[in-house]
Structure 1
Amino acid sequence: MNDGQGLMPTKSDGDADLAARAAWLHYVGGMTQAEVAKRLNVPNTRAHRYIARAQNQGLVRIFVDVEATDCVQLETELMNRYGLGFCRIGMDIPDNNPIPLKTLSAVGANFFMQAAAGRKHQVIGVGNGRTLAASVNAMGRQATPDVRFVSVLGGLTRSFAANPYDVIHRLAQKTNAASFLMPAPLYANSAEDKQVMLKQFGIVETMELIEEATLVVVGIGDVGSDEGGISCSMLDGGSAAMDLRKAGAIAEMLGQFLSEDGGILTSPYDDRVMAPPLESLRGREVVAIAGGKTKIPAISAALASGLLTGLITDEATARAIVERPPA
């Protein structure tokens, strides 16, 4: 009877490498045992033994623990450096997109579901952007009728997949919760037009509800980038983003702008933006969901501003921020 000692790997044990490869293909690659057998050119029964061996020897557990430890260390570093109360970093998933939506949406969806079910927040404010839209789309359905969601900014654009209307609508579908939108563009045509809109039925109630939000979930835009930046269609002409960057703008949050060191910049859009002032976010829980190579300077600026109490990002972005020299 085999007591299992013969399964202990040695340096010359070539089967140990095959066991690790089989486990990788099965647990990480999502292959069936038959597909693993074909890939390794072995019988199905042997592929099964390889996978069982890797599991028994702790190879699968060790791999996951090492990866998770790296993320936890990055989370701790970011929390300590920027005074965050919450940080979640998703392990990297192969993704050809400049913005790692697969990773961000998986972690973001889990956060939304926990926040909605936790009963800590009766009103949750929601920003816009592809990352938030992807996070909501990735959510499972759960009934949380006691929570109310509200758009914290206007967003009447052609891109309905990433504006607050679609995000709020999908949240209502997924949770059966009441949701409230702001039927307005991100920027009014003028300061006078903004004041007129603020008096309109529906917008008054929405702005009052925004003030009640104890949790606000936002995206972070980078100024002047074609990937993950604020849309030029929302600004005053094609050169507007470049003008903002020349004035020192690095990041955009709720249609307002931050400098590299996290300072809130004065811009021509401040009197026109259909959103609460960034300073009004202080004292609340403010969690950003953002990631990607092009957004590293913008996320760093948002963290430096002190406006955020939480961050959800991906592993590569987190590591780049940690290794980035201070502004």
Structure 2
Amino acid sequence: MEDEIGLATRAAWMHFAGGLTQSEVAERLGITRLKAHRLVARAARDGLVRVFIDGEIAECAQMEGALSAAHGLDFCRVVPVLDDDPLPLKALGIVGAQYLKGVLERDEDTLIGVGHGRTLAACADHLMRMPVKRTRFVSLLGGLTRKFSANPHDVIHRLADRTGAEAYVMPVPFIANSVEDRAVLLAQRGVAEVFDLARSASLLFVSIGAVERQASLIATGMIDRADMDQVRRDGGCGEILGWFFDRAGKPVDTEVSHRVLSLELEDLRRSRMIAIAGGVAKVDAIASVLASRMLKGLITDERTARTLIERLERPRGPAPRK
């Protein structure tokens, strides 16, 4: 099996990187053209091939500028959608991996804090294998579910596997049973050290969560449905690293956030935080987090970006009479 994978990798490299036809690949490897075709197809199917395209799409570039100007972003990337999926994981995963690849190649951020979730996991899955020099990764919040099982959308271990980098995980649940339990967990030596490390990260790469019953936080068992219902009643609209914001971008003082094992809100305000998120169900959530001015950068898809911009351009109602 390992020999077959190695052969598929070599065939894909000759075809995609070397520009050889599949007939030429077959001749170089001493195999039939049919087998060469199957090997190249297998490499693409098994994720051994990563495609990055340089250049800008004019409309996407215009939306990037509009979102940056409206929300004070230092960086914005809008990616074309690939299909009609309400959650464009593939498109976001590809461009997110491209962004991470650039960060790792520049080797300026030696400690990167990462969140978790489906979108970030897709980024890690699309990242090509590349050894890093000095970069380390650290979790920004607890990764265990309420049932004390591992988060199925774990990101930091996938990144460590792709890059060979050191990774520091917070061995605690996403949310504690009480505020008192949270304090006890944070006081543990191993946990406190990871939190201190997370505070010193020069870049935070995170996702944005929706406050709804179908949210990923509920589906993965990170938070109870009753807790999410309480957040929504308190006015929560969008979530980032366990902190919730209302439609105006103001933090929601909900009891749930005080039990989340994550960095403090003030720590996040001082950070350079880049979020990647998109999809129909997350428009309200992304808008609320953008309004908070917590982000330095955003990666999203063109449908989501267009909807966000349309909201900005929507005429406001007449001013109330005095």
Contact 2:144–2:222 at 8 Å: present in 1 too? Answer: no
Letter of the 1:191 partner, please give it: V
**C-alpha distance in 2, partners of 1:65/1:197?**
46
Instruction: Decide which of 112, 115, 122 is 2:100's aligned counterpart.
Output: 112
* Map of 1:207 onto structure 2: 195
* Map of 2:160 onto structure 1: 172
Letter of the 1:161 partner, please give it: P
Contact 1:232–1:241 at 8 Å: present in 2 too? Answer: no
1:288 equivalenced with 2:275 (yes/no) = yes
The change in CA–CA distance for 1:252 and 1:168 in structure 2 (over 3 A counts) is same
Instruction: Decide which of 163, 170, 175 is 1:182's aligned counterpart.
Output: 170
Letter of the 2:302 partner, please give it: E
Matches within 5 A, 1:251-266: 251-266=238-253
Letter of the 2:92 partner, please give it: L
Instruction: Decide which of 58, 61, 74 is 1:69's aligned counterpart.
Output: 58
**C-alpha distance in 1, partners of 2:55/2:187?**
55
**Residue deviations 1:293-317 (CA, integer Å, cap 9, x gap):** 0100100011000000000000100
Contact 1:223–1:230 at 8 Å: present in 2 too? Answer: no
**C-alpha distance in 2, partners of 1:266/1:230?**
20
* Map of 1:103 onto structure 2: 91
Superposed CA RMSD in Å reads: 2.2
* Map of 2:16 onto structure 1: none
The change in CA–CA distance for 1:228 and 1:144 in structure 2 (over 3 A counts) is same
Contact 2:113–2:204 at 8 Å: present in 1 too? Answer: yes
**Residue deviations 1:264-311 (CA, integer Å, cap 9, x gap):** 111112331110122211232100010000100100011000000000
Shift of 1:112: 1.2
Contact 1:281–1:307 at 8 Å: present in 2 too? Answer: yes
The change in CA–CA distance for 1:65 and 1:185 in structure 2 (over 3 A counts) is closer
1:275 equivalenced with 2:266 (yes/no) = no
The change in CA–CA distance for 1:168 and 1:65 in structure 2 (over 3 A counts) is closer
Matches within 5 A, 1:1-327: 68-96=57-85, 98-157=86-145, 158=149, 160-162=151-153, 166-228=154-216, 230-231=218-219, 233-235=221-223, 237-325=224-312
* Map of 1:55 onto structure 2: none
**C-alpha distance in 2, partners of 1:242/1:269?**
10
Using the aligned pairs only, state the percent identity: 42
Contact 1:230–1:252 at 8 Å: present in 2 too? Answer: no
**Residue deviations 1:49-87 (CA, integer Å, cap 9, x gap):** xxxxxxxxxxxxxxx999800000000000000010000
Shift of 1:167: 0.9
Contact 1:90–1:313 at 8 Å: present in 2 too? Answer: yes
**C-alpha distance in 1, partners of 2:254/2:175?**
12
Letter of the 2:69 partner, please give it: N
**C-alpha distance in 1, partners of 2:196/2:170?**
11
**Residue deviations 1:155-208 (CA, integer Å, cap 9, x gap):** 20256331xxx3111111111111100001111111121111112232111011
TM-score of the superposed pair, with normalisation by structure 1: 0.75
Contact 1:67–1:91 at 8 Å: present in 2 too? Answer: no
Contact 2:152–2:220 at 8 Å: present in 1 too? Answer: no
Shift of 1:147: 0.5
Shift of 1:232: 7.8
**Residue deviations 1:85-139 (CA, integer Å, cap 9, x gap):** 000111110143x210011001000111111221221110000110000100100
**C-alpha distance in 2, partners of 1:121/1:220?**
22
Find the residue that maps to 2:257 and give its secondary structure. coil
**C-alpha distance in 2, partners of 1:242/1:119?**
42
* Map of 1:51 onto structure 2: none
TM-score of the superposed pair, with normalisation by structure 2: 0.76
Find the residue that maps to 1:89 and give its secondary structure. strand
Shift of 1:233: 3.2
Contact 2:178–2:259 at 8 Å: present in 1 too? Answer: yes
**C-alpha distance in 2, partners of 1:239/1:160?**
20
